[in-house]
Amino acid sequence: MPPLKPKIVGHRGSLYRSLENTRHSIRIAAEHCVEVECDVFLLKCGTLIVFHGGGSDENPGDLEEYCGMKANILDLTYEEARKLKFNPHYHEFGCGPEIIKEMEDEYYIPTLEEVLLDAKETGVVIKIELKGPGTAEPVLELVEKMGMVDQAHYSSFEHSRIKRIRELRPNRNPDGSYRYKTGALFDEPPSDFVHKALEAGASEVHLKYSTCTSDRISEIHGAGMDSMIWMRGPIGMEEDVSDKFHDVGNETEDMYMTIMNTGVKAMCVNRPDVLSTLLSKMI
């Protein structure tokens, strides 16, 4: 029996066709995706912005490689962040320098409100990774103000952030599922990862693609949660296929089929057009 078709989720938009986490990239991703993932920070001026940046998950938002500035996005106001220019030669930007230079006037750090307005127009669900501190409550407030409760999901590696969403909004649908969808992100999942996700009130578990196994997916589904995998960025993916995996290409159809065979319900990928083509071939 062929695997079930997973939902296609665009990782930071469609980053091989347009600059990641920009309005243009997210709108392009909507051509192939039912959901689009983006990263959100709360700036010191109170503005919620969509941006990834360098650094670790514990200390995200570094600007040096992304924008050539020795600072963190959290050091800036939105007026300052809006003026930032992206480094066209940074290898993490999969779309390449030509597209970045050509689209320079359209490539800026957008507000979350702008991205949500685009989502309303295109109809995609926005999966909001609560990247920076203090994001949970203002993001929730904005989503509700815009009437987009059913079109926005929340996720984080810092599970206290999604736990806060659940504490504030424990609402359930008639079938018992949570109305406010939250995803517990894991890099290398511990043995008790399902317990940790349930403890945070998660409705989904998001595994790094290389840690996704049939057993783990069965455990997630058995606990009543949905599942998703996420791909690393372009630099990380190239490292993986060079050093770890030699039987599949970098987000080729073979790689996607291998992941799909685990039974995962959603795939957050850098090449949503490739996954869409693969799924169109399946009966």
State how far the alpha carbon of 153 is from the alpha carbons of 89, 128, 149, 162, 218, in Å.
Answer: 32, 6, 8, 10, 22
**What average pLDDT does range 230-252 have in this prediction?**
90
Q: What is the DSSP string of the chain?
A: -PPPPPEEEEETTTTTTS-TTSHHHHHHHTTT-SEEEEEEEE-TTS-EEE---EE-SSSEEE-HHHHS-SSBGGGS-HHHHTT----TT-TT-TT-HHHHHHTTTT-S--BHHHHHHHHHHH-PEEEEEE-STT-HHHHHHHHHHTT-GGGEEEEESSHHHHHHHHHH---B-TTS-BSS-EEEEESS--TTHHHHHHHTT-SEEEEEGGG--HHHHHHHHHTT-EEEEE---HHHHHHHHHHT--SS-TT-HHHHHHHHTTT-SEEEES-HHHHHHHHHH--
Confidence of residue 249 (pLDDT cuts 50, 70, 90): confident
Task: Give Cβ neighbours of residue 208 (< 8 Å, ≥ 6 apart).
Answer: 186, 187, 188, 229, 230, 232
Say if residues 66 and 54 touch (Cβ distance below 8 Å): yes
Given a cut of 90, whether residue 244 has pLDDT beyond it is: no
- What residue segments make up the domains of the chain, in order of their start? 7-281
| pLDDT (0 to 100) of residue 1 | 60
| pLDDT (0 to 100) of residue 243 | 87
| pLDDT (0 to 100) of residue 99 | 97
* Residue with the larger pLDDT of the pair 3 and 76: 76
Mean of all residue pLDDT scores within the chain: 96
Given a cut of 80, whether residue 247 has pLDDT beyond it is: no
CATH number of the domain at 7-281, please? 3.20.20.190
| pLDDT (0 to 100) of residue 170 | 97
Given a cut of 70, whether residue 2 has pLDDT beyond it is: no
**52-87 residue pLDDT tens:** 999 888 889 999 999 999 999 999 999 999 999 999
| Tokens 């938002």, residue located | 61
**129-186 residue pLDDT tens:** 999 999 999 999 999 999 999 999 999 999 999 999 999 999 999 999 999 999 999 9
